Copies of this chain bind each other. A is one copy, B any other.
């Protein structure tokens, strides 16, 4: 059995592309346009979660987080997309 190690797994939960994103739109309209940042084309907001997971491999760590995110309904699959990114071992 492989040794257990700590892995960093990041999760980004966003509204789906076609769903409205009031927070991002507000930042875009109110703040960026007022400040004259014409080079900003779009802003989308989301939720960020960082997990430290004990696992035997990066794939296992990623799977654990994926399973958990679905199990505990950390996002709503109807309106949110959930991206899970393993970022490797933690020394």
**With known contacts A43-B49, A50-B44, A53-B41, A31–B64 Cβ distance under 8 A:** no
Number of this chain's copies in the complex = 2
Check A72 for interface membership: any CB of B closer than 8 A: yes
A48 interface neighbour in B27, B45, B52, B55, Cβ under 8 Å: B45
Contact with B along A9-47 (1 / 0, CB 8 A): 000111000000000100100011001011111111111
Instruction: Name the B residues within 8 Å of A79 (CB-CB).
Output: none
**Further pairs besides A32-B72, A41-B52, A41-B54: 4, Cβ < 8 Å:** A6-B41, A39-B54, A40-B68, A47-B48
**Lowest 3 CB-CB distances: which A-B pairs, in order?**
A46-B48, A48-B48, A41-B52
